A and B are shown apart, each in its own frame.
Chain A
């Protein structure tokens, strides 16, 4: 907040490029480097379409998690949620339920999971970081229990279309979902009353409480929608892989939270933009895709992921400290 106030007074403001623009420039640079070093494979259709499909299911979850993180909370349980969703989808399809009903049931279950997180965090007042680490294990454990640890085939016209369908025979359906989710969250976050409330709560919960905002309600609904979209992400992943297995989405929370923080959302809340998150998701997805093309061993990728998370947070934190010192 101090940064914005300062920028207003500063005479140099005309020369200031905002963070999101920098991120998009970095993304463009990465694209050029990746397509040169990773040629001829990086720019082939075989690589780009899976990459974009993967990216869109990560992006869908990240967009809504940004809303939760701007209110100052966090949700680690998204990975577990995706795992449980995948299992549930496959099991319900196995029972012979119609595709649309499965989608409705699964999204409702996701909302219920989100609501549980929200209840624990807002009503009891638990630290959301630890509470959602607990629920992450619960969701994944339920997934394992339901399927007995096996992976189950999930084939159904409706489910197939969610991840592998094409709109007008050209645009992959996940991209459409991504665009829709991002547009909605963008409008909510930046052009609605609700969005102003979210930012207010993130920057000063006590002040927002005193000025009449129902802080608990806003946070609770954030968690609820986050759970629901995590399930949507789970549906896309199930459809992409055509299989429901409890390991789906394992370790995904690290990737998603890193991309959100890379996009400029601050851990304590109050700052962050949807476009920034979009850029963050794109950058990390391109990076990991590039590393995969360069044949980096999966476990070393873990090192890269952890390092990137810490580096990103430290960069923002140091910038923050520098600004504080200047004022």
Chain B
């Protein structure tokens, strides 16, 4: 072991990840948008950006976990919507369940949904994209059971949950994001579960032969994703002040873009959460900047789709899988 000539250097290791490139992109973008609009660098706008990205960030963290294990989760937007509207209904005048119960119920819903996804994908063996496309439709449909109630949020605690600014400047949601990403990074660096998931993403059959509990680990990863999506749903109802069945529609597009841009390779086995975090900031800044430079609303959809194709193309080139494709 002492004869290893190539020494492990954290700096070099960091430079080899896509993260430095992402930071570079971010700086260029900051310059571009601040030239395009004088309001971009205003404190008020920055506060807005940081407050907004909590919802997507928390979902992206969960999806990143799944994707590192070689899975895929398109259903997060619907899960957020479902957890959100159920909690909003439970908080409605007339029912008014106490807040801790509501939070627990929302999180249980998220975990259950993840469990369902995981069981179908792992035990039956269906392609994860098709499965979660199906569950995306199912959970969105379930959301509409409560469509005509239109519950408003009057609960002060829930209102503050996603809207509060610490010291009047620093949005509390940023704290959640940082906590979520830190916890996940720690899990991946220091627990058996995290290492196992990376191994599964790298080569599932090999992982199974080595004796890693593949099925269990994968199901847990889907449950984590569902759990995070449920928290995102709570943030949504908190920030928007009511529960609507369409909350979180179309979130999957942005989230895949974030996760893949952050360096998590489709197919699994590679990825770091710092990269995902920076990708999140970049994508949210782009969304914000597109509004400020006055791009027509429908054109933003085109830009986001194009961004996904671009990012995924870069991913394919980077992972050199195109050499193996014929």
Contact = CB atoms under 8 A, between A and B. Distances in A.
B72 to A, nearest CB: 8
A241 B123 CA distance: 43
A317 B125 contact: yes
Interface in B127-142: 127, 129-131, 133-138, 140-142
Interface string B3-21: 0000000000000000000
B256 A133 contact: yes
Given A120-B313, A124-B313, A310-B120, A138 B306 contact: yes
* Chain B CB within 10 A, most for which of A133, A136, A206: A133
Contact of A130 (B136, B147, B266): B266
A262 to B, nearest CB: 13
Contacts of B308: 130, 133-134, 137
Interface string A96-108: 0000000000000
B134 A307 contact: yes
Given A137-B304, A140-B301, A317-B126, A306 B134 contact: yes
Given A138-B309, A299-B141, A124 B316 contact: yes
B326 A216 contact: yes
A286 to B, nearest CB: 20
Report, as a range, how many residues of chain B touch the other chain: 35 or more
A186 interface: no
B48 interface: no
Given A141-B302, A148-B298, A321 B134 contact: no
B74 to A, nearest CB: 8
Contacts of A46: none
B305 A306 contact: no
A209 B260 CA distance: 29
A167 B253 CA distance: 43
A168 interface: no
Given A267-B127, A313-B130, A125 B144 contact: no
Interface string A131-149: 1011111111110110011
B309 A141 contact: no
B325 A125 contact: yes
A141 B305 contact: yes
A144 B301 CA distance: 9
Given A138-B306, A318-B124, A306 B317 contact: no
Nearest to A208: B326
Contacts of B142: 303
A21 interface: no
Contacts of B307: 134
Interface in A203-245: 205-206, 209, 215-216
A145 B298 CA distance: 5
Contact of B306 (A134, A206, A267, A300): A134
Given A134-B309, A135-B305, A313-B131, A302 B298 contact: no
Interface in B276-326: 296, 298-309, 312-313, 315-317, 321-322, 325-326
B135 A124 contact: no
Given A136-B305, A300-B141, A310-B120, A141 B256 contact: no
A254 B326 contact: no
Contacts of A151: none
Interface in A294-314: 297, 299-307, 309-310, 313-314
A127 interface: yes
B137 A141 contact: no
Contact of B138 (A120, A126, A307): A307
A129 interface: yes
A321 B307 CA distance: 38
A254 B313 contact: no
A314 B124 contact: yes
A313 B129 CA distance: 12
B124 A209 contact: no
Contact of B312 (A130, A144, A251, A314): A130
Interface of B: 120, 124-127, 129-131, 133-138, 140-144, 147, 245, 252-253, 256, 260, 266-267, 296, 298-309, 312-313, 315-317, 321-322, 325-326
Interface of A: 120, 122, 124-127, 129-131, 133-142, 144-145, 148-149, 205-206, 209, 215-216, 246, 251, 254, 257, 261, 267, 297, 299-307, 309-310, 313-314, 317-318, 321
Given A130-B308, A141-B303, A216-B326, 17 more contacts: A120-B309, A120-B313, A125-B316, A125-B325, A127-B266, A127-B267, A130-B129, A137-B304, A145-B299, A148-B298, A300-B144, A303-B138, A310-B126, A314-B120, A317-B124, A317-B126, A321-B125
12 contacts: A122-B325, A134-B306, A134-B309, A134-B312, A137-B301, A138-B301, A139-B305, A145-B299, A149-B298, A300-B141, A300-B144, A318-B124
Q: Which 8 A-B pairs have the closest CB atoms?
A: A125-B322, A137-B305, A141-B301, A306-B137, A303-B141, A299-B144, A144-B298, A141-B302
